[in-house]
Amino acid sequence: MPHEYSSSEEDVAFSRLIGKRRSIRGYLAATLYILAGTLLTTPLRGVLDLSNVALLYVLAVVLNGVRYGRGVAIFAAVFGSLVFAYVFVPPHFSLAITEIQYLLSAVIMLVVALLVGHVTANLRSHSEVVEAQAAQNKALYEFARQLTATRSSEAVLETSLRFLERNFAARHAHLIGPEQVHSAANALADAALIQASRERRQLLTRPTAVAANVVALLPLLTAESGHGVICFEVAASQLETQSQREFLETVGSLIAVALERTHYAEVAQEVELRHAAATLRNTILSSLSHDMRTPLTALVGTADTLMLAPMLPPEKQHALLSGLREQAQSIFQFVNNLLDMARLQSGGVELNLAWQPIEEVVGVTLQQIKSIAEARQIGLSIDPDLPPVLIDAVLIERALWNLLENAIKYSPADSPVELAIRRLGDELDIAVGDRGEGLPTENVEALFGLFQRGHAESSVPGAGLGLAIVKNIAEAHHGRLTANRRKGGGSCFHLRLPLGQAPCLALEDEA
């Protein structure tokens, strides 16, 4: 497929062409300069001393030499001395040089030209090296910066391959991992070459069928361990000089360091995840063993009592039976919470959003809460004319229920529980307040975590899931949950939901 490589060949030809054009321009400029200078000074021939005129030619040599390099300088010197001899040195308009001093000045001009040309050529190649190094440093700096932004090995690799493609016009670049040395032998590289590159810890190249191209094997090595070799095809001119190869090797070690960093970061993250999972498992287990065993023990015990003592007076029996039901109900609630939490945490909940009047949800919640509120009065205050909110009514009802249940559970049976709903700026504020013993003084936020309870081993049944569920639901609605201590005792939880722009409904009211 020779056409595939044509682009770089064109590049090379093009740069050569540019070089040629540049030197042609130099010769032309030198010729013009000398001819113009000669024409200008010819009328003054009688006035000017010959040595001054000769200095003008020296100036031409120096200027063109600095500008266009050694070749042009020599050309200017030779051409200049010829013109000088022809026009100015008597006999005029002849090349016969009669006086030895003029011959000397021609020789001096040539020497000056050689010196100037040499010095400028050195300077130029020096500055080209410096420029190339600056460009390399800039590219390396950019590359290093891109690498620091990567978070995974895949991203490092992608960034690296992209860098090689852009800066070296590398093709077919790919990574051969440490374990794939043998299996990865392919059209580009064989196993022995890959192995050699790894062992010698240096960049190796191999010619390809296309003469202008080579296959390069760049080992990625750090002090710790090898990460493999990057294999790619590249134009041979890209790896001609020692500095180009060193540059590529520096790139290789940058990639290796980045890979090592992401590798350890991934390991650390995995360890952390495993640790978090283990902690969660332990909390679930201890919570299960406390919060499930208690009601289950009561359940089994009550059922046994009823079976073993059939002669119990009816009112005693009734009390035991209603206890049985209550315990079962609390287990049901617990399992429900666990399932809800699992669903919310797994992200498996699709919000069923609709514009709802909040009163509708409140009404349902108050209806539902009756079963546990018993005689508790729940004070309700709703701002009139609240706009509808975009919510998943079922989830918000669940959140509201949890907040009310909490308030009822954690406050004395004769104290009031209040539910207040109002508009606060562009948010809807649903506040549930109680007159219980209040929140812990520090780290209130921790209460919203999974399996967090205000008081561990509290006699109030629960597993510390309720508030975590509310928080999850609030966040799913781009809202938030906050809590504060109330003046005069007790606590108040605020569920804040963003109020959007409700759609206008064209109501056809034909009263």
Q: Applying CB under 8 A, which residues contact other proteins?
A: 325, 328-329, 332, 336, 339, 352, 354-357, 359-364, 366-367, 380, 382, 388, 393-394, 397, 503, 505, 507-511
* Six token digits for residue 355: 């514009």
Q: What is the DSSP letter of 442?
A: S
Residue nearer to other proteins on the CB measure, 148 or 501 = 501
Q: What angle do CA 507, 509, 511 make, to 5 degrees?
A: 170
Min dist. Cβ of residue 333 to other proteins (A): 10
Residue nearer to other proteins on the CB measure, 315 or 350 = 350
Min dist. Cβ of residue 223 to other proteins (A): 56
Phi first, then psi, for residue 420 (nearest 5°) are -125, 130
Long-range contacts, 188-191 (Cβ 8 Å, 24+): 188/215, 188/231, 188/232, 188/233, 189/215, 189/217, 189/231
Residue nearer to other proteins on the CB measure, 14 or 332 = 332
Decide: 191 and 208 in contact? Cβ < 8 Å.
no
Residue nearer to other proteins on the CB measure, 350 or 426 = 350
Which residues lie across from 205 on neighbouring strands? 216
Q: What angle do CA 242, 130, 10 make, to 5 degrees?
A: 65
Min dist. Cβ of residue 358 to other proteins (A): 9
Min dist. Cβ of residue 495 to other proteins (A): 16
Closest CA to 219 of 243, 186, 255: 255
Residue nearer to other proteins on the CB measure, 23 or 356 = 356
Min dist. Cβ of residue 312 to other proteins (A): 21
Residue nearer to other proteins on the CB measure, 181 or 400 = 400
Residue nearer to other proteins on the CB measure, 298 or 393 = 393
Closest CA to 449 of 275, 268, 276: 276
Min dist. Cβ of residue 377 to other proteins (A): 12
CA 282/CA 469 separation, integer angstroms = 19
Residue nearer to other proteins on the CB measure, 307 or 507 = 507
Min dist. Cβ of residue 361 to other proteins (A): 7
Using only the alpha carbons of the chain, give its radius of gyration.
44
Min dist. Cβ of residue 367 to other proteins (A): 7
Residue nearer to other proteins on the CB measure, 301 or 357 = 357
Min dist. Cβ of residue 366 to other proteins (A): 6
Closest CA to 142 of 168, 154, 160: 160
In order of 6, 213, 237, 244, the CA distances from 9 in angstroms are 5, 10, 10, 19
Closest CA to 205 of 181, 228, 229, 178: 229
Decide: 170 and 236 in contact? Cβ < 8 Å.
no
